[in-house]
Amino acid sequence: MANHSLAFEKPIVELENKLQELRAFSEAQNIDVSAELVELEKKISETKRNIFQNLTPWDEVQLARHPQRPYTLDYVEAMCTDFIELHGDRHYADDQAMVGGFARLDNEPVMILGTQKGRDVKSNVARNFGMAYPEGYRKALRLMKLAAKHACPILTLIDTAGAFPGIGGEERHVAEAIAVNLRELFLLPVPIIVTIIGEGGSGGALGIGVGDRILILEHSYYSVISPEGCAAILWKDRAFASQAATALKLTSKDLFKAGLVDEIVPEPLGGAHTDPKAMAATLKQRLLTNLRELKAVPADVLLRQRYDKFRAMGVFETEAVGG
Partner 1 sequence: MRLFDRKKYTSIKVRKKDLPSGLWVKCPDCNEIVYKHEIDEGKGVCPKCAFHFQISSQERLALLINADTFQEWDADLASADPLQFTGQVSYAAKLVENRKKSALKDAVLCGQGQMGPFTVALGIMNFNFLGGSMGSVVGEKITRLFERALADRLPVIIVCATGGARMYEGLFSLMQMAKTSAAVARHGQAGLPFISVLTHPSTAGVMASFATLGDIIMAEPKALIGFAGPRVIKETTREDIPKGFQRSEFVLKHGLIDMIVQRKDMTSTLICLLGYMTPSAEANAQRPTPNAERPM
Q: How far apart (Å, rounded) are the C-alpha atoms in residues 304 and 269?
A: 38
* DSSP-assigned letter for residue 54: S
Q: Is 124 in the site for partner 1 (CB under 8 A)?
A: no
User: What's 118-133 look like in SS3?
Assistant: CCCHHHHHHHHHHCCC
Compute the least distance from the CB of residue 132 to partner 1, in Å.
12
Using the contact rule CB under 8 A, the part of the chain among 32-40, 142-150, 247-255, 277-285 near partner 1 is 247-255
Q: Is 121 in the site for partner 1 (CB under 8 A)?
A: no
Compute the least distance from the CB of residue 61 to partner 1, in Å.
14
Candidates 113, 132, 143, 163: give the one binding partner 1 (CB under 8 A).
163
Q: How far apart (Å, rounded) are the C-alpha atoms in residues 233 and 225?
A: 10
Q: Is 24 in the site for partner 1 (CB under 8 A)?
A: no
Q: Is 151 in the site for partner 1 (CB under 8 A)?
A: no
Compute the least distance from the CB of residue 14 to partner 1, in Å.
35
Using the contact rule CB under 8 A, the part of the chain among 13-21, 151-159, 246-254, 292-300 near partner 1 is 246-254
Site string for partner 1, 259-298 (x = CB under 8 A): -x--------------------------------------
Candidates 72, 115, 195, 223: give the one binding partner 1 (CB under 8 A).
223
Contact 118, 61 (CB under 8 A): no
Contact 211, 192 (CB under 8 A): yes
Candidates 165, 293, 295, 299: give the one binding partner 1 (CB under 8 A).
165
Tell how strand 81-85 and strand 98-105 pair up. antiparallel
Q: Give whichever of 210 and 264 is closer to partner 1, judged by the CB atom.
A: 210
Tell how strand 154-160 and strand 108-115 pair up. parallel
Per CB under 8 A, contacts with partner 1 among 192-211 are 202-203, 206-207, 209-210
Contact 197, 217 (CB under 8 A): yes
**Backbone torsion region of residue 299, taken as left when φ is above 0, otherwise alpha when ψ lies between -120 and 50, otherwise beta:** alpha
* Sign of the CA dihedral running 88, 94, 95, 99: positive
Q: Is 300 in the site for partner 1 (CB under 8 A)?
A: no
Using the contact rule CB under 8 A, the part of the chain among 32-40, 45-53, 145-153, 162-170 near partner 1 is 162-170
Is residue 310 packed enough to be buried (19+ CB in 10 Å), middle (13-18) or exposed (0-12)?
middle
Using the contact rule CB under 8 A, the part of the chain among 14-22, 96-104, 109-117, 176-184 near partner 1 is 176-184
Q: Which residues fall within 8 angstroms of residue 26, CB to CB, at 6 or more apart?
A: 32, 33, 37
Q: Is 311 in the site for partner 1 (CB under 8 A)?
A: yes
First CA to last CA distance, the chain: 61
Q: Give whichever of 67 and 165 is closer to partner 1, judged by the CB atom.
A: 165
Q: Which residues fall within 8 angstroms of residue 93, CB to CB, at 6 or more apart?
A: 133, 135
Using the contact rule CB under 8 A, the part of the chain among 8-16, 104-112, 231-239, 275-283 near partner 1 is 231-239
Q: How far apart (Å, rounded) are the C-alpha atoms in residues 289 and 91?
A: 36
Binding site for partner 1 (CB under 8 A): 163-167, 169-171, 173-176, 178-180, 182-184, 186-187, 202-203, 206-207, 209-210, 222-225, 229-230, 233-235, 243-244, 247-250, 255, 258, 260, 306-307, 310-311, 313-321
